[in-house]
Amino acid sequence: MAEYLGKGDYQYEPVADWGNFPPEIVLGDVAGIAVDGKDRVYLFNRSSTPMVVLDQNGDVLATWGHGIFANPHGASIGPDNYIYLTDNFDHTVRKFTLEGQLVLQLGTAGVSSGTMSGKPFCKCTHSAVSPSGNIFVSDGYLNACIHKFDQNGRLLKSWGSPGTGPGEFNLPHNICCDADGWIYVADRENSRIQIFDEDGRFETQINNMHRPSGLAITPGSCPACIVGELASYLAVNRDFPNIGPFVSVFDQQSNLLSRIDKKKGAGLGPGQFLSPHSITCDSKGDLYVGDVVDADWAKVFSNREMPHQPSPLIHPICG
């Protein structure tokens, strides 16, 4: 009998061991994940094969990106049908065709703008493209701001500073744009999603979540937010129940609509998560989640040896 997790319009059936990888492809942490208009799935992962493209059945269609990236962190496909790949160790965002041809690079490889400089980039985390074609970059681990570029890579403006108030950030970790051009930022260590217009004006925020890491939004105006919530990495509350890791769905009034959670805590089994870092949806409403296991296992399980198995994905059947 099928096992469904979540509730309401957001119920999903976990699929174990999705992805048919030949021996020469050893998948690393799937830090970024994206789906194109043909429902092909792009796994931006930390291995010697940084981009792996699969069909919905999990069969490998293509690989590319070898020797380019320092540390894959975020992936998104814009309305322009290009894929944007964010490398936090390299301080760059690169725009590629879906076949892997480099079209544009934002930032200088290996060159940081400086800690909390407010300038592009210092360990940038993710990027997204609005319907108008502007590129937005969350920046990031050693910065606390959002940068807006035009489609040719010209910097238009930056906004944000460290803090907890509106328009301030404590590790902006992920970013999305909706059909109306609103900008959604996973303000991870402030445990909220901040929403802005395209000029960076604060509109509202979604809270009642814990350390949002992965972020996706449903199609259309006023979308729901699908959030990968992290567990605590602190010894004082690492074992607390009901604070992650799991994948949750919120409306824009901070109401919890659904939660994918097996009630067994963190793990690598179907429907369990360790560090849900990247999320995307396909045209059928199926959900794909990339789990960063190698990098985060010791942060969640400080005294347990990590089993040797691939980073898990979840592939629900409806949403």
Q: Distance (Å, rounded) from C-alpha 62 to C-alpha 42?
A: 9
What is the per-residue pLDDT for 315? 42
Place of tokens 């567990």: 231
Please give the span between the terminal C-alpha atoms of the chain, in angstroms, as a whole number.
Answer: 19
What is the per-residue pLDDT for 39? 96
DSSP lists the bridge partners of residue 83 as 77, 96
What is the per-residue pLDDT for 309? 58
Q: Please say whether the beta carbons of 146 and 157 come within 8 A.
A: no
Q: Please say whether the beta carbons of 24 and 40 come within 8 A.
A: no
Q: Distance (Å, rounded) from C-alpha 205 to C-alpha 193?
A: 5
What is the per-residue pLDDT for 147? 98
What is the per-residue pLDDT for 55? 94
Q: Which domains, ranges and CATH numbers included, belong to the chain?
A: 5-300 (2.120.10.30)
Q: Which two tokens stand for residue 39?
A: 């429902």
Q: DSSP class of residue 182?
A: -
What is the per-residue pLDDT for 238? 85
Give me the tens of pLDDT residue by residue for the chain, a chain 319 residues long.
Answer: 678 899 999 999 888 888 999 999 999 999 999 999 999 999 999 999 999 999 999 999 999 999 999 999 999 999 999 999 999 999 999 999 999 999 999 999 999 999 999 999 999 999 999 999 999 999 989 999 999 999 999 999 999 999 999 999 999 999 999 999 999 999 999 999 999 999 999 999 999 999 999 999 999 888 999 999 999 999 898 888 889 999 999 999 999 999 998 788 888 888 889 999 999 999 999 999 999 988 899 899 888 888 765 544 544 444 3
Q: Which two tokens stand for residue 177?
A: 């744009």
Phi-psi bin for 181: left (phi > 0), alpha (psi -120 to 50), beta?
A: left
Q: Please say whether the beta carbons of 200 and 167 come within 8 A.
A: yes
Kindly report the pTM of this predicted structure. 0.95
